[in-house]
Structure 1
């Protein structure tokens, strides 16, 4: 094991959309192309993401557009979505935006002792990489440890999957004591509460500060623009554990 990995004992999971970046225009366009590729019909209505995984959005999008979902629809749609999104990756930085302070926050948290950062997102893995790479955020994230939208698990279970991947790689038990999720929606808060992680709510997206607090976020920030505040929040909510514990 790499000596640097041996010292890692804090796991920081980031939601992507409306926490780190906003690329909704490109995402909608990619969904429309994928829908046409799979069904041969134009997309009339795309259901709102609401923090849900791509796998769930696909099924509901098929339903609201009058398509009876069959077993092969999901893998075909996700494959088509990956291709459509990759074709549009050059538009991400032009038509999307990085959320205020996102890069400095990721960079600053990466300097905190014992931290590894990854993502917990409803986006499929390939598209998650494109979203962060477009804004130069990918270098701060270990994508192999994350949880993604093609994995058909409840979000809370996906959090535990990510913890398991991190433990398998790093040898450290990751629990609510040393794992923190950073996200913008009450669904993120629920995932943290059920899955076993501390929660930093960021009131930059789907949910207000009051909603995040009421849902049970441990700390709520207005956005990521104060990097030292983000680092302090992560440090306060993660307590490095003994590698021999658990």
Structure 2
């Protein structure tokens, strides 16, 4: 089970923007004028576009320097997450309920760099049921669909089970999350808690669409429905 982070589990946009502004200043020596909207994109992509729209020609060392500065800036502001951010409705109960399903391991598939994803979830006590070692993160310069496959490979190495569309579920709020799941090979639960409406998530190909995470039983039922064929035949196949 792979969770998107921003606008699926938490909303910490104010702190994120401030961290980006600080990282931009550190790397370029200039104030940030415009930050491109995330729209489900990874931090690596946002960095390059933000440099471009602010008139900075990207050089080879810009991305690693920027991501390092972003991690530092966000860590410096992690104390503000609870005050200036919020946990999405039902997130904690949904994570806890899904963790009770037999054979389920929960991690994240997020455009956020790993260090910041950990801070975001820890700030709201959402890290307890998440295995961060198996996730896919924004510093890994892959399309999100490929990042999903990287996470599946990590899970296979750790758990000894092949992960495919039959036993992998992504839950996220954007049409990009849906596209990544469909291309990468996973069942998809769309949550209309972010910038994509329920109709857009359905049109993009989400298998199941929920209004939010406030009904933990619905979340569990959705996960179970998407993995039922695999569960019925067992982890080792037919």
* Residue 230 of structure 2 corresponds to residue 235 of structure 1: no
Q: Aligned runs of 1:216-227 on 2, under 5 Å? A: 216-227=205-216
- Please give the alpha-carbon distance, in whole angstroms, between the structure 2 residues aligned to 1:67 and 1:33: 16
Shift of residue 54 of structure 1? 0.2
* Residue 43 of structure 2 corresponds to residue 20 of structure 1: no
Contiguous gaps of at least 5 residues in structure 1: 1-11
The CA deviation string for residues 75-111 of structure 1, in whole angstroms up to 9 with x for no partner, is 0000000000000000001100000000000000000
- Please give the alpha-carbon distance, in whole angstroms, between the structure 1 residues aligned to 2:195 and 2:206: 14
The CA deviation string for residues 151-174 of structure 1, in whole angstroms up to 9 with x for no partner, is 000000000000000000000010
Shift of residue 245 of structure 1? 4.3
| RMSD of Structure 2 on Structure 1 (CA) | 1.0
Of 137, 153, 170 in structure 1, the residue corresponding to residue 159 of structure 2 is 170
What does residue 88 of structure 1 align with? 77
TM-score computed with the length of structure 2 as normaliser: 0.97
Shift of residue 206 of structure 1? 1.4
Runs of 4+ residues deviating >4 angstroms:
none
TM-score computed with the length of structure 1 as normaliser: 0.94
- Please give the alpha-carbon distance, in whole angstroms, between the structure 2 residues aligned to 1:195 and 1:108: 26
The CA deviation string for residues 124-149 of structure 1, in whole angstroms up to 9 with x for no partner, is 00000000000000111000000000
- Please give the alpha-carbon distance, in whole angstroms, between the structure 1 residues aligned to 2:135 and 2:71: 17
Count of aligned pairs between the two proteins: 235
- Please give the alpha-carbon distance, in whole angstroms, between the structure 1 residues aligned to 2:187 and 2:90: 21
Of 171, 177, 183 in structure 2, the residue corresponding to residue 188 of structure 1 is 177
- Please give the alpha-carbon distance, in whole angstroms, between the structure 2 residues aligned to 1:52 and 1:33: 20
- Please give the alpha-carbon distance, in whole angstroms, between the structure 2 residues aligned to 1:117 and 1:36: 36
Equivalent residue of 1:63, what SS? helix
What does residue 59 of structure 1 align with? 48
RCO comparison, higher one (Cα < 8 Å, 6+) = 1
What does residue 43 of structure 1 align with? 32
The CA deviation string for residues 13-55 of structure 1, in whole angstroms up to 9 with x for no partner, is 0000000000000000000000000000000000000000000
Equivalent residue of 2:206, what SS? coil
